[in-house]
């Protein structure tokens, strides 16, 4: 099945194994990790839900009705896939009001369970989470042994930290729209659409740089002028000397090579690395223009993603794998290195709101 992600290189070569994922919602399980404790008191009613076959925004709207508030009074830390079983927290702004009875809400929505409730002094905001835990079931694998071998490689060396296909819209439409907007073909006033297109533009350029480094066999190799993320140092370190020392830090996992989330300011890299990055991103002048016109600020993102707490089971033509990823990283980046996904069966709803 050809996808927009076929534009980007594989770290372990394109898989030869074909198979299916999300045959059933239970084949894609996600559990959110907020990474902090609730205050126990406050004007925000916190609700932990488990939903099956429902998207987050639909549940938000229905929970708002059940609590007697507007949808804008319900917030979340992250959107989750529809065709999956997902656990996440929602916060409902209920100042001066008691905890509502959600029995009727649960009875009317068989795809939603309420697992836990609490009180907190702040509402949830997008990005207020440390990461997610996944359990994925890969079915109808025609070379399951190859998937198992690749899992061992992934556990040791990680996968490319690509933004997944859902970031780019159906058939990459968000990138197409971003180029057209950058070419002044139309104006975008809707805030959500502006966010989608700008995010797609920056993510596409990041993926391009990462893919090029894989092609040049430089994804594990420190270049002169690279910016590294070092454990315990959020500022990053510019590599201008002692390449061998920094290479050892990357090899032992205490430092990570980064690529750009482009902005309107100058690249923080220098020398060989800066020249490499600019040569790639300048292949997309309309996306660059759009990012600069909208005064986006430059950020960095690690090239590689190493799933944590990886475990897997192999049973015939089925492999079940579990792992944890930091917030903002995509489980599809892991699956992409394991197998080629067959076209979904008739009746499958590909709606994803990660």
Burial classification of residue 189, based on how many CB atoms lie within 10 Å of its CB (0-12 exposed, 13-18 middle, 19 or more buried): exposed
The pLDDT tens digits for 30-84 are 999 999 999 999 999 999 999 999 999 999 999 999 999 999 999 999 989 889 9
Yes or no: domain 36-120 corresponds to CATH 3.40.50.300: no
- Evaluate if residue 156 carries a pLDDT over 90: yes
Give the C-alpha separation, 138 to 295, whole Å.
42
> Nearest to residue 47, comparing CAs of 31, 63, 61?
63
- Evaluate if residue 1 carries a pLDDT over 90: no
Give the C-alpha separation, 194 to 200, whole Å.
10
In the chain, domain spans = 36-120, 162-302
Q: Average pLDDT of the chain? A: 94
Mean per-residue pLDDT, 276-288: 98
CB 133 within 8 A of CB 321: no
Give the C-alpha separation, 58 to 86, whole Å.
14
* Owner of token pair 């099956």: 52
Neighbours of 149 (CB within 10 A): 13
Q: Which pLDDT score, from 0 to 100, does residue 229 have?
A: 94
- Evaluate if residue 344 carries a pLDDT over 70: no
Q: Specify the fold of 162-302.
A: Pseudouridine synthase (3.30.2340)
- Residue 319: CA atoms inside 13 Å, Cβ hemisphere, count? 24
The pLDDT tens digits for 216-242 are 999 999 999 999 999 867 678 999 888
Q: Which pLDDT score, from 0 to 100, does residue 327 have?
A: 94
pLDDT band at 349 (very low <50, low <70, confident <90, very high): very low
CB 49 within 8 A of CB 74: no
Output Rg (C-alpha) for the chain, integer angstroms. 22
> Nearest to residue 89, comparing CAs of 119, 54, 53?
119
- Evaluate if residue 346 carries a pLDDT over 70: no
- Asked about 81 being catalytic, the answer comes back as yes
Mean per-residue pLDDT, 13-42: 96
Q: Which pLDDT score, from 0 to 100, does residue 347 have?
A: 47
- Write out the two tokens for 181: 């907007």
pLDDT band at 354 (very low <50, low <70, confident <90, very high): very low
Q: Which residues in 335-353 are b (16+ Cβ under 10 Å) and which e?
A: bbbbbbbeeeeeeeeeebe
Q: Which residues in 261-290 are b (16+ Cβ under 10 Å) and which e?
A: bbbeeebbbbeebbebbeebbeebebbbbb
pLDDT band at 350 (very low <50, low <70, confident <90, very high): very low
- Write out the two tokens for 96: 């001066």
CB 282 within 8 A of CB 288: yes
Q: Which pLDDT score, from 0 to 100, does residue 235 have?
A: 75
Give the C-alpha separation, 219 to 204, whole Å.
17
Q: Which residue intervals of 158-270 are DSSP H helices? A: 173-182, 191-215, 243-251
Q: Which pLDDT score, from 0 to 100, does residue 233 have?
A: 74
| E strand or H helix that includes residue 327 | none
The catalytically annotated residue of 27, 73, 81, 128 is 81
- Write out the two tokens for 175: 């990138």
């Amino acid at each position: 099945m050809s996808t927009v992600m076929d534009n980007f290189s594989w770290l372990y070569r394109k898989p030869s194994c074909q198979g299916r994922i999300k045959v059933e919602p239970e084949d894609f399980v996600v559990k959110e990790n907020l990474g902090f404790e609730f205050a126990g008191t406050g004007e925000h009613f916190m609700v932990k839900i488990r939903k099956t076959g429902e998207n987050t925004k639909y549940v938000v709207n229905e929970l708002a009705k059940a609590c007697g508030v507007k949808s804008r009074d319900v917030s979340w830390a992250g959107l989750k896939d529809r065709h999956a079983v997902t656990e996440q927290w929602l916060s409902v702004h209920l100042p001066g009001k008691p905890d509502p009875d959600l029995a009727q809400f649960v009875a009317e929505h068989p795809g939603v369970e309420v697992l836990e409730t609490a009180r907190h002094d702040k509402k949830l905001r997008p990005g207020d989470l440390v990461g997610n835990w996944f359990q994925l079931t890969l079915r109808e694998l025609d070379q399951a042994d190859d998937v198992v071998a690749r899992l061992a490689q992934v556990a040791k060396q990680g996968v490319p930290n690509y933004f997944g296909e859902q970031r780019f819209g159906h058939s990459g439409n968000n990138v197409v729209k971003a180029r057209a907007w950058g070419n002044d073909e139309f104006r975008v006033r809707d805030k959500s659409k502006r966010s989608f297109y700008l995010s797609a533009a920056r993510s596409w350029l990041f993926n391009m740089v990462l893919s090029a480094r894989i092609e040049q066999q430089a994804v594990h190799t420190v270049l002169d002028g690279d910016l590294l993320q070092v454990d315990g140092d959020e500022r990053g370190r510019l590599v201008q000397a002692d390449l061998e020392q920094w290479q050892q830090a990357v090899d032992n996992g205490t430092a990570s090579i980064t690529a750009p989330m482009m902005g309107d300011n100058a690249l923080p890299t220098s020398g060989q690395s800066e020249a490499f990055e600019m040569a790639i991103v300048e292949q997309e002048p309309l996306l660059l223009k759009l990012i600069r016109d909208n005064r986006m600020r430059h950020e960095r993102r690690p090239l590689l993603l190493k799933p944590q707490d990886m475990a897997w089971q192999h049973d015939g033509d089925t492999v079940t794998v579990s792992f944890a990823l930091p917030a903002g990283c995509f489980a599809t980046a892991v699956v992409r290195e394991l197998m080629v996904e067959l076209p979904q069966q008739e009746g499958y709803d590909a709606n994803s709101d990660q």
